[in-house]
Amino acid sequence: MDKLLNEFRQDLVSGEWVLVSTGRAKRPHPKTERETVDTSKENCPFEDLFKSGQEIVWGYPDSQNWEVMVIKNKYPAVQYGVCMPEEEFGPSKIIKATGLHDIVIFKNHDTHFADFTNDEGIKAIRVYKKRYQEIALTDKCAQYISIFHNFGQEAGASIYHPHSQIISTPILPPHVKGSLDGAYQYYVKNRKRVYDVIIEWEKENKRRMIYENDLFLAFCPFVSRYPYEVRIFSRDSHAHFEKMPDEFDKYLADALIQVLKKMRKVLNDPAYNFFIHTSPVETALENIHEFYSWHIEIVPKFSIAAGFELGTGVDINTVDPDRAAEELRNA
C-alpha cells in the first residue's frame, strides 16, 4: 500500500507552494470520462476551409495540398492593430489587447496528436517555429507569443478536429514573468541554471522520469501542481524554442507523442492542454540564454480549482508525482 503524502512543496523556480495531499483522492487512479462533442465531419468548420469562410495565412507544404494549415481565428482573443502605451484607469492600468490569434489545423479529422506519426509531429513542430518567427517580425506590439494545444472540451477545445493555437500579446504573462524572474534570481545567487539543476536531479533520482531519447527527456516534476503533470526539456538547454535547430524536431516530436500515448493509456484518453514555455519576443535580458530554458508542459484535465485553491493560490495535487511517473513510464 502506498504511503499517504501530506506536505507542501515549494517550486524551485517560481517560489510558489503546492500541497501534495494524496489522502484526498477517493481512488489512486483518477480515470476520466470526457464530455462528448460533435465529432462529425459534416459540421466541422475545418474540413472545408474555403466553404466555411476561413481566412488562410498559409499551408504546409502549400495551401492547395496542405497537411498543416495556419488560419486566422474567427473569434480572436486579441485584435491586430497599432501598438498603444499603458494607460491609467483610476488606480489600475490598461493596455489595448493588440496581437495576432492564429489556429494551426492538422489535416486528418480523427487523427489527434497522440496518434500522429513522427513525421506528422515533425511537421507540427516546424509549423509552430515558422509561424512564431513570422509573428515575432510582423507584430511589433508582441512581448510574448504563446503556442498551445487543447484536447477535449474540458480542456477548452470547442472543435473536435485537431488543432493548436498561437496568440501574441503586448504584455508578458505573469506566470512566464515569474519563471523568468525566479530563474534569473537563482542564477545570480548560485551561478547555475536552475533548470539544469532540476534536470540533473531528476535524471539521478530517476523515480519521476517517464521517457528519454537522445535529445529530450520527460518527467513528472517533484513539485507537480496537477495530477500526472509532465514537462519535456531539451538536453541541450536553450532559452528560445523558435531557435531550436531543425535536427532537434524529430526528437521533440517523438518525446511529445510518446508522452501523450502514455497518458491516453493510463488515464483513459483524458482531455489535456500542452503549451510551450519560451522566452519573450523582446527582452532587455541579453544573457537570458544563461539562465532560462524553454520547455513544454502537459496537463491532463480532471481536477477543478475549488475554494482553497482560488482563495490561496495554492494548488492541491492528490496524486504522488512518483506514482504518476511510474504508471506513465510503464505504460
Domain-by-domain residue ranges, the chain?
Answer: 6-330
Residue of 283, 258, 254 lying closest to 125 (CA atoms):
254
> Does residue 28 surpass a pLDDT of 80?
no
DSSP 8-state secondary structure symbol assigned to residue 284: S
CATH (one of 3.60.21.10, 3.40.50.300, 3.30.428.10, 2.30.30.240) for 6-330: 3.30.428.10
Q: Quick one: cell of 92? A: 489600475
Helix (H) and strand (E) counts in the chain: 6, 15
181-234 pLDDT tens trace: 999 999 999 999 999 999 999 999 999 999 999 999 999 999 999 999 999 999
Express the helix, strand and coil content of the chain in percent, nearest 5 each. 30, 25, 45
Catalytic residues: 163
pLDDT the model gives residue 50: 84
Mean pLDDT of 104-128: 96
Q: What percent of the chain has pLDDT over 70?
A: 94
Mean pLDDT of 96-108: 96
Q: Give me the residue label for grid cell 507542501.
A: 8
